[in-house]
Amino acid sequence: MCGIIGRVGDGNALEPLLTGLENLEYRGYDSAGVAVQNGSGINVEKRSGKVEELKSSIGDPLQGEVGIGHTRWSTHGPPTDANAHPHTDESEDVAVVHNGIIENYTELKERLAANGYEFTSDTDTEVIPHLVQYYLDAGYDSERAFRQAIDELEGSYAVTAMVSGEHVLYAARRGSPLVVGMEDGEYFLASDVPAFLEYTDSVIYLEDGDVVVVDADGVEFTDLEGNPVVREPETVEWDPEQAGKGEYDHFMLKEIHEQPTSLSQAIEGRIDSAGGRIALADFEPGTFADIDSVQFVACGTSYHAALYGSLALNQAGVQSTALLANEYSVSAPPIDDDTLVIAVTQSGETADTLTALRQAAREGADTLTLTNVVGSTAAREADDALFIRAGPEIGVAATKTFSSQAVMLTLLAQRIAADLRGEPPADLEALLPELESMPAAIDDVLAESAATTIARRYRNSEAYFFIGRGLGYPVALEGALKFKEITYEHAEGFASGELKHGPLALVTPETPVFAIFTGEEDEKTLKNAEEAQTRGAPVIAVCPDDHPAVAVADDHLSIPDTEPDLAGLIANVQLQLVSYHAADLLDRPIDKPRNLAKSVTVE
């Protein structure tokens, strides 16, 4: 949701802090700020707007070896200078950055105000530095004051704080991510690894309830009561260059073009097409033999990948359903010991998905997480984890992670079905070679796509509809989501047959319809597309060159002829490109769409 960066080490902290904020801006870009120990106290610079505006507002460089920074996605209070982090007490002896929601902030604020502490912002965060100062005024040392303040917070949080005159950072987490980075006497605290990937690949992930004290001598991990806890370092396999835009104008375009690589990484060592088998190292044959039903929980783009996986399982003869994680508490189907709940979350930190995962575990389900982030909360809390290996994704609009999620869920569906039946599904032998060739097929699509022309031709339309059947349906939903979130134009996705049950009333000559053909009951999707076409809507067929829809449609986006299980995922690349080029023509802030953040860590 918001991005936190902290740094302790030799030399000036400002440059790594600003680098960290730029790397974390996908987590929020309503406002940004830094606080640095400058030798005579804490110096704070913050303002509404993006990190580049903060950088341009800093006059004389802030000096100091210790500092914290924050880039904000607004929850409590609008994006103003006053509401930007870091927040301090009145004397600026304590500075704090925070991600999450303090649910009892009103009660704490009233108590502190009654004791003479004055507030200058609308945020829940501001209670934290005042609360730390309250205990400092009561005679507590800094570490004890921080611990006492944290102990009184209710809700979710990742907090990093510093106290004037001390070469120390204090941090704690509950429900929001924090990770420590370490390299030759330089230490970082951040919401996510890309914040400091240029400086180190050695990391330690905090767990809920951890309190960390970081100084020039190292990092100390304890629980809230001060009892030591052991957290082992890990090496992150991401390449620092993956966190940059390289030759591309936007992260989103770069990440669209990275899909052949990310998919190759996802399937590497996991399929044996010659032997007709799936090899998931952590899941021996028979792992899923006792599962009666599967529930997927996810949000946003990950939900569309989950729906893809659920439909693939149903087609393989396994009872499955995909549920929105934020609705799970009120709409979850019955769970028993033979239920497998799969949480799909790119970051592994999505608050709604974590809540659903924990509910499922409490009710006795086996749990599995599909995620991109080793060491994430979801990966640690689930019984098992399967990683998509997509590498860092910086653009707020997910692209390569969706493809990798859907491919891995396709493999997982085949594997679960094989365990339950005692033999591989009949179509596995045909699927695996096509899956191996999928990265090359996407390379061809990227090289030859007509998406720029299509985006330009329909740029002034009133609305955009996307339709698909079977495994094309979640792709239609995802295509519409991509389009609306980065163009700000109205777009909707429908199951093909649903178009005539209401949405057809919205169809006009100014509402192009993108029809996705997967090779599965395509004649029905074509009929639905023609129904829109007879009402004046232009139809753009996403299908192979020799498909019958090409002769009927007004325009065509080409995909290779492949297995129905995979055709929609290649079609999705064409739709990503259309969305990107449409947004570019409209001069939208493609990597940072308004009101959105990459990782939603509050419910």
CA–centroid distance for 229 within its chain? 29
Pick the closest to residue 349 from 374, 327, 328 (CA basis).
Answer: 374
Query: 378, 409, 436 — which closes off a domain?
Result: 436
Pick the closest to residue 295 from 363, 397, 350 (CA basis).
Answer: 363
List the structure tokens of 586.
Answer: 């409209």
Same domain, 459 and 480: yes
Annotated catalytic residue 598? yes
Same domain, 201 and 267: no
Compute the average pLDDT of residues 379-388: 94
Spell out the SS3 assignment of 322-342.
EEEHHHHHHHCCCCCCCEEEE
CA distances from 518 to 121, 254, 303 (A): 53, 26, 20
Same domain, 377 and 482: no
Count CB neighbours of 137 within 10 A.
14
Same domain, 217 and 321: no
Annotated catalytic residue 543? no
Same domain, 41 and 104: yes
Query: 412, 436, 460 — which closes off a domain?
Result: 436
Q: What's the number of domains the chain is made of?
A: 3
Same domain, 420 and 446: no
pLDDT of residue 427: 77
Q: Is 477 helix (H, G, I), strand (E, B) or coil?
A: helix
pLDDT band at 184 (very low <50, low <70, confident <90, very high): confident
The CATH number covering residue 232 comes to: 3.60.20.10
Query: 408, 436, 464 — which closes off a domain?
Result: 436
pLDDT of residue 374: 84
Compute the average pLDDT of residues 15-25: 86
Pick the closest to residue 214 from 179, 249, 241 (CA basis).
Answer: 179
Same domain, 431 and 447: no
DSSP string, 237-260: ---GGGGS-TTSSSHHHHHHHTHH
List the domain range (segments joined by +) for residue 33. 3-236
* 65 contacts 19 by C-beta, under 8 angstroms: no
pLDDT of residue 457: 97
Same domain, 15 and 158: yes
The CATH number covering residue 529 comes to: 3.40.50.10490
pTM, full prediction: 0.79
Q: Which of 46, 109, 482, 598 is catalytic?
A: 598
Same domain, 394 and 469: no
Taking only Cα atoms into account, the Rg of the chain, rounded to an integer number of angstroms, comes to: 25
- The Cα 213–Cα 68 span in angstroms is 14
- The Cα 464–Cα 490 span in angstroms is 6
Same domain, 415 and 540: no
Mean pLDDT of the chain: 90
pLDDT band at 195 (very low <50, low <70, confident <90, very high): confident
pLDDT by residue (tens digit) across 196-255?
A: 888 998 999 998 899 999 998 899 999 999 999 999 888 887 665 566 677 889 999 999
Same domain, 310 and 412: yes
pLDDT by residue (tens digit) across 565-594?
A: 999 999 999 999 999 999 999 999 998 888
Same domain, 448 and 421: no
